[in-house]
Amino acid sequence: MAKIIAGVGTSHTPAIGAAIDLGKMEEPYWMPLFKGYEPAKKWIADTKPDVVIMVYNDHVNAFDFKIIPTFGLGCAEEFPIADEGWGARPVPVVKGYPELAAHLVQSLVLDEFDITIVNEMQVDHGLTTPMSLMFGQPKAWPCRVIPLAVNVIQYPAPTGHRCFMLGKAIRKAVESWDEDLKVVIFGTGGMSHQIQGPRAGLVNQKFDKEFLDGLSSDPVRLSKIPPLEYLRDAGAEAIELVMWLIMRGALGDTVKELYRFYHVPASSTAVGSIILESRS
């Protein structure tokens, strides 16, 4: 049986990917951030997942405003790296798992989640920054990746509660796949940040800390945060945090927090990272 053994929450700030690609990891500005990720990198290197389910959002790279799926599951054999305006990042192509992805779609749709099947898709910093942060700079990524692209760009984004329930359905879908696989699910984006307008640069450390605490101890409370509260209290782009609730929902009721890291700033964002082991 395939099993989701753990979840990773992490920001996906594009400047972090650029710092890695440009060899700036040792610079004073970036060093504390990359030091903070070292235990997380070690954990995933030791854990060796077979498959990562990467819950992330596209930033108008794979999808333009013609078609915006709320939940798009990547079913392709591979996912090329998007050119976001300065050339594609020099990272390996992302290899998918079409058979398992098709199974997830089937299970989720039969469970009444309206998943969009995505058979061709480029992936942007929302996916590649977390891959680089956790797996470093290998020649090929060490596991297969199933991308789940969530719309948090164009109003209305799905609610935290909907995301939490989708996570639970993903757990069930994975467990009905008859192959021994270690699956780790990522929730990416956040934490508090606003990248445009008069409030650009907004960071709310109290909100972020409470969110990290809630992921460990009371995700049901987090799942009730209304969308506008993310925007008002933690910046417009903090709505990305609903994706962490998909990750948390997929871990079952009981988790053990293995690692946490929080750092301000990276570019204009608060960066958070958490690893939760499923104990259900």
Report yes or no: 157 and 109 within 8 Å, Cβ to Cβ. Answer: no
If the CB atoms of residues 143 and 148 are measured against ligand DHB, the closer one turns out to be 148
Total of chain residues touching ligand DHB, rule CB under 6 A = 13
Tokens of 201: 């640069």
Collect all residues with Cβ–Cβ distance below 8 Å to 187 and sequence separation of at least 6.
7, 8, 9, 10, 55, 243, 244, 245, 246, 247, 248
Binding test (CB under 6 A) with ligand DHB, winner from 173, 192, 237, 248: 237
Q: Does 194 bind ligand DHB (CB under 6 A)?
A: no
Closer to ligand DHB by CB, 59 or 260: give it: 59
Residue from 68, 195, 231, 258 in contact with ligand DHB (CB under 6 A): 195
Per DSSP, the three-state class of 275 is strand
Look up 103 and say whether it is catalytic.
Answer: no
Catalytic pick from 12, 103, 125, 263?
A: 125
Phi, psi at 81, each rounded to 5°: -85, 130
Distances in Å between the Cα of 59 and the Cα atoms of 127, 189, 244, 258 are 10, 11, 17, 30
Near ligand DHB in 19-78, by CB under 6 A: 59
In the residue annotation, 125 being an active-site residue is answered as yes
Catalytic residue among 12, 59, 103, 193: 193
Q: Of 130-189, which residues contact ligand DHB (CB under 6 A)? A: 189
Query: Which residues from 254-273 bind ligand DHB, rule CB under 6 A?
Result: 267-269
Decide if residue 248 touches ligand DHB (CB under 6 A): no
Residue 204 as a binder of ligand DHB (CB under 6 A): the answer is no
Q: Which stretch binds ligand DHB (CB under 6 A): 10-18, 97-105, 158-166, 206-214?
A: 10-18
278 binds ligand DHB per the rule CB under 6 A: no
- Token pair 């997380």 is at which residue? 40
List of residues 6+ apart from 224 with CB closer than 8 A: 160, 161
Residue 88 is a binding residue for ligand DHB (CB under 6 A) = no
Site residues (vs ligand DHB, CB under 6 A): 12-15, 59, 189, 193, 195, 237, 240, 267-269
